[in-house]
Amino acid sequence: MKLQRMDTLLRQAREKKIALGAFECWDSINIQGIAKASSLTGIPVIFQATPVEYEPMGGAAALVHMVKFYVDKYNINAALHLDHGSTLEQVEDCVRSGFSSVMLDASACEFEENARLSAEAAKIAHAGNLSFEAELGHVIGGDGGDGAESALTVPSEVVEFVKRTQVDCLAVSIGTVHGDYKGKPELRLDLLKEIASLVEEPLVLHGGSGTPIAQLHAAIKLGITKINICTDIHKAFLAGIEEARKTLTPSVPGNFYRPAAQMMTEKTVEMIRLFSTGIPQD
């Protein structure tokens, strides 16, 4: 199966009133687990990785080869997305390597600089027939930072940002965090509702891990079509390793990592189903 543009998959998901999971990739074990979960559920998935994840695998091109192999093996519909690219050079590298979607994250910059850099990255993506994601507002966490409050998306800036950047998918900041929450999750669904009323582009939620499912379902109902997941599936992977330590020897890696692969796959199946079933409708 050919990798698909991410915005195409997200618009199809929106028509079905569901969201797709976008799952972080860090090695072949978890890439196969994501593909297997998609096959088991019959729901498309987004494979995604930051440069921090794909560089140890051999770079962007190596990740493309791995993902394509498992997409073909399991005959699934999927996109491969650059998550949180930080430079135009990274965007160009992923376009050349065969990704089907890219993100340049300039959300920590002021509006003007974010819009300028995002517009440049969008031109690179569109020249290669890839979809492009940018973030307006800034979701914090995930890098050992000081836990300062996220900068929420300002609805009055959304239309101008989308117009100037030609973004295909817009990541919004409405109260989630990357990594573990330090407080009680409380999504600003009022902001999301206003944002969704202003733009037609698919909306993306970063920091989905640990967010109460009732709030995620409410966000999907209001227009979120992509939910990024890393921490939840990585914790399942690590839990599998701890389980293996009880009875298996690390000297036989093929057996030692089986519980991790199984538990991560089961968690991915769970997340895919949570994003696509049981969502309250009007």
Residues labelled as active-site residues:
83
> Count of CB atoms within 10 A of residue 119's CB?
18
Q: How many CA atoms lie within 13 A of 126 on its CB side?
A: 12
By the 10 Å C-beta count (0-12 exposed, 13-18 middle, 19+ buried), 79 is classed as: buried
Specify the residue for token string 């209001």: 222
The identity of residue 64, as a single letter, is V
DSSP labels, 143-206: SS---PPPB---HHHHHHHHHHH--SEEEE-SS--BSS-SS-----HHHHHHHHTT--SPEEES
Q: Furthest-apart CA pair in the chain: how many Å?
A: 58
Going by the DSSP 8-state scheme, the letter that residue 57 receives in this structure is G
